[in-house]
Amino acid sequence: MIDPTVSSPQPTLPVLFSVRGWPAEVNPAYITFVDEMRSTGVEVIDVYVGPKGFKSLGEWAGAVADEIETRHQTSESLHLMSYCLGGVVTQVALGTLTDRGIEADFVALIDARHESPDYRLQRGLDSLYSVPWGFRIRHQLLRLTPPDSEAVRTVLKSVVWRSVRSLLELPKRGWRSRRRVVPWIFTEMHLSHHWEFRALLTPVYLYSAASSIQKYGDGDPTVHMGRYLRGGFTVRVVEGTHENCIEPPYSTDLIARINADRRAVVAGVGAFQ
Amino acid sequence: MTEPPILPTLYSIRMWTEEVNPAYITFVDEMRATGQEVVDIFVTHHGYSTLDEWAGGVVERLLELWSEGTELHLIGYCGGGDLLITALPILERRGIHADYVGFIDIRASRPGDALRSGLYSLYEIPWSGRIWRQMMRLTPPDRETFGEVAVSIVRRSVRSVIELPKRGWRSKKRRNPAIYRQLWLEYRCAWPGVTTPAHLYVCPRSVQKYWPNDPSVGSARTLLGGFVIRSIGGNHETCIAPPYSTDLIARINADRSAVVSGIGAFQ
C-alpha cells in the first residue's frame, strides 16, 4: 500500500482560497488551522465576508464569490477549502461561480454538514429560525423519499409528537423563546436555515470526522451533503471531532491529506479526472 | 497506454440475457482479451417477486464464486448496474465492502419523465409508489413547484383517457416480452442508499437525454459513499462496442490498477 500523504517530487500548489463562515471571535481555531497550513509552505488566502446586510445566503455567498473572483489570478487553477459553516457558504458560492463560467479545480469541505429534516424538526430549528412552512413541508417530504423511505406514519407521528412537545413547553418558554437564540451566531444560522440548496455539479473532496458521521449523519458518510453533490465526491474520514479535527494533533494529518489531494489534482491524477 | 498489471478477478453482473443484449457479452470478451479475468454473473429473474430478492440471488451466486479475503471488484452495465446497486447494500449488511465498483451508463428514471411516458401504468406501480415518486419532484435540490407537478399529473391523466378507446386499458401492445418482467421488477423498486464508493462511466448523451444538469444521471441520491464520474464516448448502446469500448476498458483497468495500488479515488 502506498502512503498517499508521501509523494515526491512535490509540485508547486496554486493559491488556496479558504472560505470562512464564522468570524475569528466565534471560531479562532480555524484561523490557527490556516496558519498551520501556511507553515507547510502553501499559500492560503483567507476569504471572509461577514453576513450582516445580506437578506439571504445566496446574496451572502454571491459576495464571497465576488471576493474570490477579484483575488483569483485567472491563469491559475482555483483551489478552495472551507470548514463547518464556511462549507455551506462555499457550496452556494460554487454555484454562483459556475454560473459565471468559473470552475474550481479542487474543493475541500472540512466537516461541513446539512441537518437531516428529522433533526431540524426534533430540535425545533425551523421554528427557532422562522423557516417558512412551504420549506418545512418540502423538507419533511424528503423523509418519505428514497433512499430514506420512512413510512408516512413515522413522519406524521414525529411531526405530531414535536407539535405536542412545543405546546407543552409553551407556558415555560413562551412563543419563539429568545433564550434559545445565541446572538453571535444567529444571523449566520438564520441565513443558512432559510436557504434551499441547489445541486452542485463541481466535484468535491469531503473531509468528515467519524464522530460527525455518527452523530449528525445517521450513518450517511456525507452528513446529508450528498443529495446536493451531483458532480461527484469522495469522502476522507478524518480523526477527531467536529471541533478538534482542525487542531493538533489531528490537524497535521488533515493538512497532509489535503496537500496530497491537491498535489494529485495538479499532477492530473486526482480522484476526478 | 501500457498493458495493465494482472488485476483481481472482475465480477460482472448482468441483467439481460445474451439474446437481449449480445453486445455486453462481446464487451466482456474484449475485456478478457486485455489479460484480465472477468467472471460473468447472470441470475435469471424467474422466481423472484422483487428486485431486492433478485439482487439477493445475485449476491448468493457471487459469494459462491468469490474467495473471501481477496479483493472484490464488481461491474455492471445498464440493468446489470441496477441489479448491482441493489445488491451492494445486501453485501454491506453482511460486512462485505467491494474494493472497486464500476457502473457503466446506469440511470435512474426521472419521476416526471416516467409519468409522461406512462411507465407507472405500464409496469403496474402501486399508487403509493406513484405518489412518493411525484413527491420527490417537490423536494430539494430539484424542487419543482406544486403547480408544475399537479399540471403534469392532470395532463397525463387527460392523455390516458383520450388514448383509452384506441389503446385500451393497460395496452399489451406496449409490452416487450423479452424485457417486460425484468423492468416490471426494476420499476417497482427504489434504489437504496449505498455507502460503498463507486466509479460511474457515463455517456454525456445519456445525461443530455435523460437527466440534464445531473452528470450522475440520477445516481447521486443513492451513492452516499462517494462517486467519481468518468465521461465516456458513444451512447448507451455503442459505448460498450468498438471503437468506444477500447477506451472504456482502458479506463476501467486504469481505475482498478489505481485501487490495487492504493492510489484510487477513494482512499
Report chain A residues whose CB lies below 8 A from the CB of B223: 226
Residues B102, B195, single domain; the answer is yes
The pLDDT value given to residue B3: 60
Q: Tell me which residue has cell 448491482.
A: B84
* Single pTM value for the model: 0.92
The pLDDT value given to residue B2: 56
- Give the residue from B184, B208, B239 where a domain finishes: B184
Report chain A residues whose CB lies below 8 A from the CB of B221: 146-147, 226-227
Residues B97, B118, single domain; the answer is no
- CB B30, CB B249: distance < 8 Å: yes
* Residue B62 covered by a domain: yes
Tens of pLDDT, residues A180-225: 788 889 999 999 999 999 999 999 999 999 999 999 998 899 999 9
| pLDDT above 50 for A41 | yes
Identity of the residue in B215, B264, B265 whose CB atom sits nearest the CB atom of A231: B215
Residues B102, B202, single domain; the answer is yes
Conformational region of residue A174, where left means phi above 0, alpha means psi within -120 to 50, and beta covers everything else:
left
Q: Judge: B140–A196 Cβ closer than 8 Å, yes or no.
A: yes
Give percent above pLDDT 70 in chain A: 95
* Residue B31 covered by a domain: yes
* Residue B236 covered by a domain: yes
Report chain A residues whose CB lies below 8 A from the CB of B136: 145-146
Residues B86, B210, single domain; the answer is yes
Q: A103: number of CA atoms within 13 Å, CB side? A: 6
Residue ranges in chain B modelled with pLDDT below 70 = 1-4, 170
The pLDDT value given to residue A65: 98
| pLDDT above 70 for A109 | yes
Q: Structural domain of residue B124, as residue ranges?
A: 112-184
* Residue B55 covered by a domain: yes
User: Region A83-105: what's the mean pLDDT?
Assistant: 97
Q: Into how many domains does chain B fold? A: 2
- Give the residue from B164, B184, B204 where a domain finishes: B184
Q: A262: number of CA atoms within 13 Å, CB side? A: 27
In order of their start, the domains of chain A are 16-114+198-266 (3.40.50.1820), 117-190 (no CATH)
- Domain CATH number, residue B70: 3.40.50.1820
- CB A120, CB A162: distance < 8 Å: no
Residues B93, B149, single domain; the answer is no
* Residue of chain A whose alpha carbon sits nearest to that of B266: A234
- CB B73, CB B99: distance < 8 Å: yes
**What is the Cα–Cα distance from B198 to B230, expressed in whole angstroms?**
11
Q: What residues pair up with A205 in beta bridges, in sequence order?
A: A108, A234
* Residue B27 covered by a domain: yes
Interface test with B, best of A230, A263, A269 (most B CBs within 10 A): A230
Q: How many CB atoms lie within 10 A of CB B149?
A: 18
Q: Which of A21-35, A103-117, B156-170, B233-247 has the lowest mean pLDDT?
A: B156-170
The pLDDT value given to residue A3: 52
Residues B128, B158, single domain; the answer is yes
Question: Mean pLDDT score of chain A, rounded to an integer?
Answer: 92
Residues B231, B253, single domain; the answer is yes
Q: ipTM of the assembly? A: 0.91
Band of residue A10 on the pLDDT scale cut at 50, 70, 90: low
Band of residue A7 on the pLDDT scale cut at 50, 70, 90: very low
* Residue of chain B whose alpha carbon sits nearest to that of A222: B224
- What is the DSSP secondary structure assignment for residue A107, as one 8-state letter? E
Interface check for A168 against chain B (CB to CB < 8 A): the answer is no
| pLDDT above 90 for A32 | yes
The pLDDT value given to residue B213: 87
Interface check for A205 against chain B (CB to CB < 8 A): the answer is no
**What is the Cα–Cα distance from A49 to A46, expressed in whole angstroms?**
10
- CB A80, CB A205: distance < 8 Å: no
Residues B96, B197, single domain; the answer is yes
- Give the residue from B184, B200, B228 where a domain finishes: B184
Residues B103, B174, single domain; the answer is no
Interface check for A142 against chain B (CB to CB < 8 A): the answer is yes
Identity of the residue in B139, B215, B227 whose CB atom sits nearest the CB atom of A145: B139
* Residue B4 covered by a domain: no
The pLDDT value given to residue B166: 83
The pLDDT value given to residue A1: 42
Interface check for A268 against chain B (CB to CB < 8 A): the answer is no
Residues B123, B253, single domain; the answer is no
Q: What is the separation, in whole angstroms, between the first and last Cα of chain A? A: 22
Q: Which amino acid is at A114?
A: H
Residues B200, B234, single domain; the answer is yes
Tens of pLDDT, residues A135-164: 999 999 999 888 888 999 999 999 999 999
Q: Judge: B190–A149 Cβ closer than 8 Å, yes or no.
A: yes
* Residue B14 covered by a domain: yes
Residues B14, B78, single domain; the answer is yes
* Residue B244 covered by a domain: yes
